[in-house]
Amino acid sequence: MSIEVESITKRFGDAVALDDVSLEVPTGSLTALLGPSGGGKSTLLRIIAGLDTPDSGIVLIEGEDLTHTPARSRGVGFCFQHYAPFRHLTVRRNVAFGLEIRHRPKAEIKARVDELLELVGLAHLGERYPSQLSGGQRQRMALARALAIEPKVLLLDEPFGALDAQVRTQLRLWLRDLHATLPVTTVLVTHDQEEAMEVADRLAIINHGHLEQVGAPADMYDHPANEFVLTFLGSATRLGGEWVRPHDLVVHPVSEGKPSATAVEGTVARVTHLGFEVKVEVDLVGEESCWVQLSRGSAAELGLQAGQRVWVARSDASDAPNHRHPILSA
Amino acid sequence: MRSSRWRLPLRSAVLVYLGLLVILPVGTVFYRAFQHGLGAAWDALTTPDALHAIWLTFIVAIIAVPLNTIFGVGVSLILARHRFPGAWLLDALVDVPLAISPVIIGLGLILVYGHTGWFGNWLAAHGITVIFSVPGIVMASAAVSLPYVVRSVLPVLLEIGTEQEQAARTLGARPFTVFRRITLPSIRRGLAYGVTLTTARVLGEFGAVAIVSGAVAGRTETLTLFISDSFNSLQPESGYVGAVALCLAALIVLTLLTVTDRNRDAWHGKAVA
């Protein structure tokens, strides 16, 4: 295990930021701490880095207990949400900082900085000051600066949070590629489930200071440990008193007769076209309304309109026994 | 056009105001100083008492300004980076010298460090003279100029936040390295401004120094006291020349700070080339 936290508890006054959280991050993985804002993810990241101290619990990096080791001696690369660039230093000297204070030979520093700037695509901007960079460039500079000290682990706090949507998507892919070429154990904090699933190979979901579930994104999507994970990771709706993914539901015209034992009758309340996907809201008979996610083609085939009477049923695949599990069919 | 109609009267009013309060009086002092030619001015400036006053002012500034710079940066760091009970009190105390008259500060120093003061006996027993002597003048000058560095640096520290310092820590920097390489460069403009204000105040302080120094010509007279004394003792020429010397000193300080600041910027540009 590259990073292990055991029974970490942290309070800020009366507020409990983390309540007995234990987590293992395997060597070389890219793990996302995912959860709603204010849930304690950033606090956990800062505790791993040594920027905050836990009230109880321990932090191990490569098996070594670093709970009481100052941040400067932990060998951790940390990227802040707003990048924390050293505003009075150029890009080059920002990246060189960790090496300069270690008094490495000048030639070595230059070579290493050149290599890192090349890696993050800022080789041509070395003489600029951070104020002359775009958000995405600052982010990459901060990454290069953190990587310069050859950290044992890389910690990224909401790395794409302050960027606009297009740059964010590009940087996600770029980060995944970077991690593939330079497999440093990485933990990133995000509140965006799509981002977490796209970038990370492991997710740890944290809510209200509790670790809800840890695992591979696809596993967790299919086998959420509880209702919170189910509703937070992708969309969910209820049919016949059970949680179900909206894309696992199908709609049949009422004239075709009840398609399956678990089907429920209802009235189409609204049809919303979202590009390829069509969202159909249905007021069910005898229970709360649900919504169904259809492809554009199947929606057109059915010719759905508000006011129409329909059956809502689980699709055959989702009704198969191996697809039913405690939470999704509770 | 309303704005253009008011522009001329407004400018004139500002100029007249400045002229009556600053330009005319200071200009007249300069004129009087050189009224009898450069030679006479030089002679008035090089009398033993004048030279001593310049020397003493220099000594006081060279001690009081660094003291307040260190103290001011320290207090700013404490107030900006730590939460503790009584922080508001420390914050308020720093402003006391701004709020009360320097005369009161001088008086207080005499009451505490004078012959009959709290520490009077102890100081006398150890052969230390504070009041009517250089230490007292330094203390008075430091006291009245104490708030300026704090008030110029603290807002900058609060504005830059702590993230850069935290980043430096994660990169392996010790506390002093963080201060020297991150904090200090970040606050240097605010600090330069604070040091300039402090120096100007120390050079120009009159009230507090007048009380604690006893104003003995050739011994405990700073330039401001020398100017006042010359004027009162009907040797106004020395006073005028002293005033010009004081103005020049302030000008030199300002220039030095501007130049060093520009040099530092250039250094940043060069270091990466």
Interchain contact, A145 vs B186, CB within 8 Å: no
Cβ-based neighbours of A274, under 8 Å, separated by 6 or more: none
Q: Of chain A residues 44-73, which have a CB less than 8 A from chain B?
A: 49-51, 70-73
Q: Search chain A and give the residue with CA nearest B186.
A: A88
Q: Are A76 and B148 in contact (CB under 8 A)?
A: no
One-letter amino acid at A23 equals L
Residues linked to residue A242 through DSSP beta bridges, in sequence order: A239
Chain-centroid distance, C-alpha A131:
28
> Rg of chain B's alpha carbons, rounded to an integer?
23
Q: Are A304 and A280 in contact (CB under 8 A)?
A: yes
Q: How many CB atoms lie within 10 A of CB A201?
A: 15
* Top CATH class, A236-323: mainly beta
Would you state the structure tokens that stand for residue B115, as one six-digit string?
Answer: 């012959």
B116 and B18 together in one domain: no
Structural domain of B116: 38-271
B74 and B167 together in one domain: yes
* Rounded average pLDDT over B111-136: 85
Nearest to B252 by CA among B3, B58, B16: B58
Interchain contact, B170 vs A76, CB within 8 Å: yes
Angstrom distance (rounded) from CA B198 to CA B196: 5
Helix (H, G, I), strand (E, B) or coil at B238: helix
Interchain contact, A101 vs B271, CB within 8 Å: no
Interchain contact, B169 vs A89, CB within 8 Å: no
Q: Are B223 and B239 in contact (CB under 8 A)?
A: no
**SS3 labels along B39-83:** HHHHHHHCCHHHHHHHHHHHHHHHHHHHHHHHHHHHHHHHHHHCC
Q: Is the pLDDT of residue B268 over 70?
A: no
Chain A residues in contact with B270 by the CB 8 A cut-off are none
Q: How many CB atoms lie within 10 A of CB B17?
A: 11
B28 and B66 together in one domain: no
Nearest to A158 by CA among A269, A42, A30: A42
CATH number at residue B216: 1.10.3720.10
Instruction: Provide the CB-side half-sphere exposure for A31 (13 A, CA).
Output: 26
Q: What is the pLDDT of residue B120?
A: 80
Q: Give, rounded to a whole angstrom, the gap between the first and last alpha carbons of chain B.
A: 53
* Mutation to test the A interface, candidates B159, B164, B171, most A Cβ within 10 Å: B171
- B45-50, long-range: CB within 8 Å, 24+ apart, which pairs? B45/B238, B45/B241, B45/B242, B45/B245, B47/B238, B48/B218, B49/B217, B49/B218, B49/B221, B49/B226, B49/B238, B50/B226, B50/B238, B50/B241, B50/B242, B50/B245
- Helix then strand count (H, E) for chain B reads 16, 0
Nearest to A38 by CA among A244, A247, A208, A225: A208
B98 and B218 together in one domain: yes
Contact pairs from chain A to chain B, CB under 8 Å: 72
Chain B nearest-CA distance from A320, in A, is 51
One-letter amino acid at B164 equals Q
B49 and B6 together in one domain: no
Cβ-based neighbours of B153, under 8 Å, separated by 6 or more: B72, B73, B76, B187, B190, B191, B194
Q: What is the pLDDT of residue A39?
A: 87
* Top CATH class, A3-230: alpha beta
Torsions phi, psi of B222, nearest 5? -85, 175
Q: What is the pLDDT of residue B1?
A: 52
Nearest to A234 by CA among A193, A192, A277, A275: A193
Angstrom distance (rounded) from CA B63 to CA B67: 6
Chain A residues in contact with B164 by the CB 8 A cut-off are 84-87
Angstrom distance (rounded) from CA A184 to CA A62: 12
B12 and B110 together in one domain: no
Cβ-based neighbours of A64, under 8 Å, separated by 6 or more: none
**CATH 3.40.50.300 occupies which residues in chain A?**
3-230
Q: Are A43 and A10 in contact (CB under 8 A)?
A: yes
Which residue of A71, A102, A127 is in closest CB contact with B169?
A71
Q: Are A87 and A96 in contact (CB under 8 A)?
A: no
Nearest to A143 by CA among A162, A164, A121: A121
Residues linked to residue B38 through DSSP beta bridges, in sequence order: none
One-letter amino acid at A165 equals A
Q: Helix B184-204 vs helix B134-144: angle between axes, to the nearest 10 degrees?
A: 120
Chain B nearest-CA distance from A236, in A, is 38
B59 and B166 together in one domain: yes
Q: Which helix (H) or strand (E) holds B2?
A: helix B2-18
Interchain contact, A90 vs B272, CB within 8 Å: yes
Q: How many CB atoms lie within 10 A of CB B126?
A: 8
Interchain contact, B166 vs A51, CB within 8 Å: yes
**A23 Rama sector, left if φ>0, alpha if ψ -120 to 50, beta otherwise:** beta
Residues linked to residue A204 through DSSP beta bridges, in sequence order: A33, A214
**CATH 2.40.50.100 occupies which residues in chain A?**
236-323
Q: What is the pLDDT of residue A324?
A: 53
Chain B residues in contact with A70 by the CB 8 A cut-off are 169
* Mutation to test the B interface, candidates A48, A88, A106, A112, most B Cβ within 10 Å: A88
Q: How many CB atoms lie within 10 A of CB A205?
A: 27
ipTM over 0.95: no
> Rg of chain A's alpha carbons, rounded to an integer?
24
B26 and B131 together in one domain: no
B10 and B92 together in one domain: no
Chain B nearest-CA distance from A125, in A, is 12
Angstrom distance (rounded) from CA A326 to CA B153: 60
B102 and B20 together in one domain: no
Q: Are A248 and A316 in contact (CB under 8 A)?
A: no
B190 and B254 together in one domain: yes
Torsion of CA B119, B125, B129, B135, to 10 degrees: -60
Q: Which helix (H) or strand (E) holds A57?
A: strand A56-61
Interchain contact, A84 vs B167, CB within 8 Å: yes
Angstrom distance (rounded) from CA B182 to CA B161: 12
Angstrom distance (rounded) from CA A288 to CA A148: 55
Interchain contact, A84 vs B181, CB within 8 Å: no
Q: Does the CB of A102 have a partner CB in chain B at under 8 Å? A: yes
Interchain contact, B173 vs A49, CB within 8 Å: no
Nearest to B73 by CA among B167, B142, B157, B140: B157
Q: Are A155 and A45 in contact (CB under 8 A)?
A: yes
3-state helix, strand, coil in chain B (%, to 5): 80, 0, 20
Per-residue pLDDT tens over the stretch B172-226: 999 999 999 999 999 988 999 899 999 999 999 999 999 998 877 778 889 999 9
Count the domains in chain B. Answer: 2
* Tens-digit pLDDT string for chain A (330 aa): 589 999 999 999 888 999 999 999 999 999 999 999 888 999 999 999 999 999 999 999 999 999 999 999 999 999 999 999 999 999 999 999 999 999 999 999 999 999 999 999 999 999 999 999 999 999 999 999 999 999 999 999 998 887 888 888 888 888 898 898 888 999 999 998 888 988 999 999 999 999 999 999 989 988 899 889 998 888 888 888 888 889 888 888 888 888 888 888 899 999 998 888 899 999 988 888 889 998 888 888 888 888 889 999 888 755 555 455 556 554
B111 and B202 together in one domain: yes
Per-residue pLDDT tens over the stretch B55-66: 999 999 999 999
Q: Does the CB of B267 have a partner CB in chain A at under 8 Å? A: no
